[in-house]
Structure formats: structure tokens, C-alpha cells
Amino acid sequence: MEQMEAAAAADTGSVRIVSRRMVRPSSSKGDSPSPPPEDIHLTPWDLRLLTIDYIQFGILLPKPPTGGDRLVDGLASSLARALERYYHFAGRLATNEHGEDATVTISLRCTNEGAELVHASAPGVAVTDIIGSVYIPSSVVWAFFPLNGVLGVDAAIKPLPVLAVQVTELADGVFVGMSLNHGVADGTVFWEFFNTWSEISRGDNKDMISRPAPVHQRWFVGTNPVPIPLPLSKLQHAIQRFELPLVQEAFFTFSAASIKKLKARANEEMAGGAAATISSLQALLAHLWRAVCRARRLLPEQETSYTLIFGCRGRVDGILPGYVGNAVLPRKTRCVAGDILDKGLGWTAWQLNRAVDLFDEASVREFLDRWPREPTFAFVGNVSAGGTGLTTGGSPRFDMFGNDFGWGKPVAVRSGGGFKTDGNADVFEGPEKGGSMSLELCLVPDVLGRLVADDEFMDAVSVPR
């Protein structure tokens, strides 16, 4: 409780917007005419995610040698150069309503209108206010992001950018928060763009050049119509907003040594009973699942679930390196709480391991083939399984702490206000090289309080950062 009160005390600093501007790809500046708009048609992977929040992640950086307009002008210049490579992020969603058959088609139109760059100031907020506790001061951190509360589909109805960035100057640091429409990209693309921008900003392009060039055109299975007509007379019919329970956020970091111990314990418990090695991430998520079941005080016969967001790159033939669209799908594993708690870390991790093995190319292709005939959309309000489930997206493989914009590596990473449902747990690269990981977790406040007081769970936690 004392830690929660300390986090609440950090909410005293206010965030003030200083300026806004649209940043266009640098190749589109000057007197030369812009090329005609190009339409990128969206896949089932893309379309199903238009109904949820923008992806919102950001990094906390040390204080730069210069601030104010000079800082933001420099970041705007490097952002414009990054948008040359990812030119479609300067476009806008475009819709066509077909009254004759009551359908709608949506595309990403590459108009070069630009990404929004917001300059903000929060002189009353210090770095320690953000990272000094396992509890996250949500009202402050969420204010570091643009386009809060906006769904992807909103950008197809209103003239909103698909990409927006906010640079917030703090008392002793800078927070760079980015919001990207989930209907046009997933987490892999999000962090590749962030990496590209930071590399250009610090004047080090050698890593960027070695990466595959972005592949902007979408990949469809051969049976899909292009563009895909949605059975909606009006696009507004796809919008659903739910009343979500109040949640509290916490951030837990696990050292490489701690992760190694969890993995060794899980595999030792399953020695002779598992056909494949349990991974470090599976062991960590099993540790979380068991602790959350305890904190929720689930009855032994209650069903609990864990939904993993799987990346399809490398699992589906035909998706080229550098593919810029969405390529993710969820898969849910169900168990009863009694088994999770009684059968141990190894057994719980093995359930997640089996889910990975069962996620194959055939099932992905079947989903993509069926979706235009039977479209389903993701909604933030229906992912938390009524207070008994967990959902994890993200990856410890995403390069977050390599985003040095020229004055030092990130101190921490945090997310915005999207996807804040009971049981959401994003996984991040840890600050320590060699296998450390972090979890950003949302739970209802009383459950989170019991989790933080759980010695078995917290013994594996290293630092709140």
C-alpha cells in the first residue's frame, strides 16, 4: 500500500503541450510534385485489429545536452528521414462504402500527409517518479503519448494520422512516446521503425542498411479477394467500446540470472516428461500465471486461461523479411486453477510450450482463408476472460534499449493507455544484456497488491525498472 501511495504522489506533475507539427517524408519536401497516392490493401491480419487501440510504447531517455525547439527540430529532421523508408506511415486510412451490397473496403493510402510530432513539457516530473517503484504512475505516463483513447478504425472515419510521436521534456530526462495504428502494423514493425529513427538521429546508419528493406505490399492467401469487403453498411458499426474495470499497473524486471533459474527449475521438474525444452519466456510466463492465480484466489475448479499473441513471421511461407504489415494471431491455453497451482512451474510452462508447438502454418492459412467470409474483430473489452485470464504480447527480442537518439541509451521503457485490461501482461527486453526480461502487468488493484506481497513471485524480481 505504501508503494501504491508513493506512485500516486508522482501524479502531481502536469504535462503541457508546447507545439504540434506534421512531419512528412524528407523526399516529399520542396517544390517537386508528390507521386500519385498509392493504395495498400489490408489483409485479414490488419483488418481484425482496426477495432482496438493504437500500439503505444515509448522510451525514457537521459537528459539531452540541448532541449526545447533545437531538440525537437533535430528529432523532426531524423523522423522525416525515417519516413522516407516507411513512407506509408505518412499516409491515411481511406474507406469506400458500397451501398449496392452494404459493404465497406478500407485501404492505407500513401498520401505523404505526414506523421504528427508533438512537443510537450513536464518540468514537475522526474525520472525517479516513473521508475522508482514497481507501481506505474499511469495518469502521468499515459499523458506522454498522443492519440490516447483512439481506435484504429477511428482513423478511417476522421482525418487522423496513422503514426504520431510525442517528445516530452521532463525535469531530468526526455520521454519519447509513439502511437501507431494497429490496423497497419504490429509490434515487430513498430520497433523496427523506432530503431530506424533512433539510428538516423544518432548518425549511425550501418545497422539500418544491413536490415531488409521494408516490404510495404501486403501478403494475401490466394483465395482472398483484394480488397476485402467488410459486411458493414457503415464503418461506425465496427466500433465497440467497453466499460473496463479499474486496473493498476506494475512493472517487474527479472535479471538474466533469475530467468536462468526459472528455466532450469521448469525443465528439471519436467525431466523425462517433456519432449522439448521449455524456453526462458515460457518459464517466466508460467511463474506469472501461477502467482496471479494465487493473487486472484481462484478456486481449484475455476478455469483460467493464458492467451499468447504469436508472431507469424518465420512460421508462414511467403512472408518476406522486412514485411511491414500485421502478422500476429492469438492462441488461448485453458487449464483449471488447481492444476496450475498443484502441478508446479514445469507443468504450467509445458502447457504454454504445447501451445507454441500446435501453432502451425496450416492453422494460420485456414484462418486467413476463412476470415473474409466470416470476419471477426479484436476488441479490448473481451480479452481478459472475466478476471481469470492473462494475455501476453510483445517480445524480449524487440530491440528497445538500443534506441539511443544520440545522447545515451534508454533508462526504461513504458506503454501508453491502450490495452489496459485486467490480466494484460506485455513482455519487454530487460535493461541487462544476456537474457533479462521485464513484464508490464495490469490487474485490479487488490489483486495486484496481493501479487506484490507474494514472496515466491517477488523473489524472482530484480528491480522495478
Chain segment 381-401, per-residue pLDDT in tens: 654 446 899 999 999 999 999
Q: Max Cα separation, the chain?
A: 70
pLDDT computed for residue 229 by the predictor: 94
Least confident of 126-135, 239-248, 360-369, 412-421: 239-248
Average pLDDT over residues 60-71: 96
pLDDT computed for residue 28 by the predictor: 54
Average pLDDT over residues 369-374: 95
C-alpha grid cell, residue 89: 506511415
pLDDT computed for residue 433 by the predictor: 84
C-alpha grid cell, residue 220: 494475401
Average pLDDT over residues 76-81: 97
Which residue would you say has higher pLDDT here, 102 or 410? 410
| CA pair distance 95, 105, nearest whole angstrom | 6
Active site residue 216: no
**Whose CA is closest to 147, among 168, 134, 164, 127?**
164
| CA pair distance 165, 310, nearest whole angstrom | 26
Average pLDDT over residues 91-107: 90
**Conformational region of residue 34, where left means phi above 0, alpha means psi within -120 to 50, and beta covers everything else:** beta
pLDDT at 34 over 80: no
| CA pair distance 60, 321, nearest whole angstrom | 29
For the chain, the structural domain boundaries read 15-27+37-238, 248-459
* Local structure of residue 215 (DSSP, 8 states): B
pLDDT computed for residue 102 by the predictor: 84
C-alpha grid cell, residue 406: 544520440
Which residue would you say has higher pLDDT here, 87 or 37? 87
pLDDT computed for residue 275 by the predictor: 61
Average pLDDT over residues 188-208: 89
Average pLDDT of the chain is 91
Range 199-208 contact pairs with CB under 8 angstroms and sequence separation of 24 or more: 200/78, 200/81, 200/82, 201/74, 201/75, 201/78, 201/405, 201/406, 202/404, 202/405, 202/406, 203/406, 208/85
pLDDT computed for residue 91 by the predictor: 97
Where does 227-274 show beta strands of DSSP type E? Answer: 248-254
| CA pair distance 337, 150, nearest whole angstrom | 35
The residue from 11, 339, 369, 404 that is catalytic is: 404
Cβ count within 10 A of residue 219: 17
pLDDT computed for residue 381 by the predictor: 62
Banded model confidence at residue 3, pLDDT cuts 50, 70, 90? very low
Average pLDDT over residues 203-220: 80
pLDDT one-digit tens code per residue, 129-161? 999 999 999 999 999 999 999 999 999 999 999
pLDDT at 80 over 50: yes
What is the strand order of the sheet 248-254 is part of?
248-254, 437-443, 425-429
Residue with cell 513512407: 87
Banded model confidence at residue 272, pLDDT cuts 50, 70, 90? confident
Least confident of 13-27, 227-241, 342-356: 227-241
Q: Is 295 helix (H, G, I), strand (E, B) or coil?
A: helix
Active site residue 182: yes
By DSSP bridging, strand 115-122 and strand 163-170 are parallel
| Residue type at 158 in one-letter notation | K
Helices (runs of H) and strands (runs of E) counted in the chain: 15, 15
pLDDT computed for residue 232 by the predictor: 79
Average pLDDT over residues 305-316: 94
pLDDT one-digit tens code per residue, 317-355? 989 989 999 999 999 999 999 999 999 999 999 999 999
CATH number of 15-27+37-238: 3.30.43.10, 1.10.3720.10, 3.20.20.370, 3.30.559.10? 3.30.559.10
C-alpha grid cell, residue 29: 519536401
Residue 296's Cα: distance from chain center in Å? Answer: 25
CB-hemisphere CA count at 13 Å for 194?
29
pLDDT one-digit tens code per residue, 169-179? 999 999 999 99
The residue from 88, 119, 182, 287 that is catalytic is: 182
pLDDT at 9 over 70: no
Banded model confidence at residue 211, pLDDT cuts 50, 70, 90? confident
pLDDT computed for residue 386 by the predictor: 61
pLDDT computed for residue 243 by the predictor: 76
Give percent of the chain above pLDDT 90.
Answer: 79
CATH number of 248-459: 1.10.10.10, 1.20.1250.20, 3.30.559.10, 3.40.50.2300? 3.30.559.10
Least confident of 42-46, 94-98, 157-161, 269-273: 269-273
Domains 15-27+37-238 and 248-459 share a fold: yes
pLDDT at 31 over 60: no
pLDDT at 7 over 90: no
pLDDT computed for residue 332 by the predictor: 95
pLDDT at 273 over 80: no
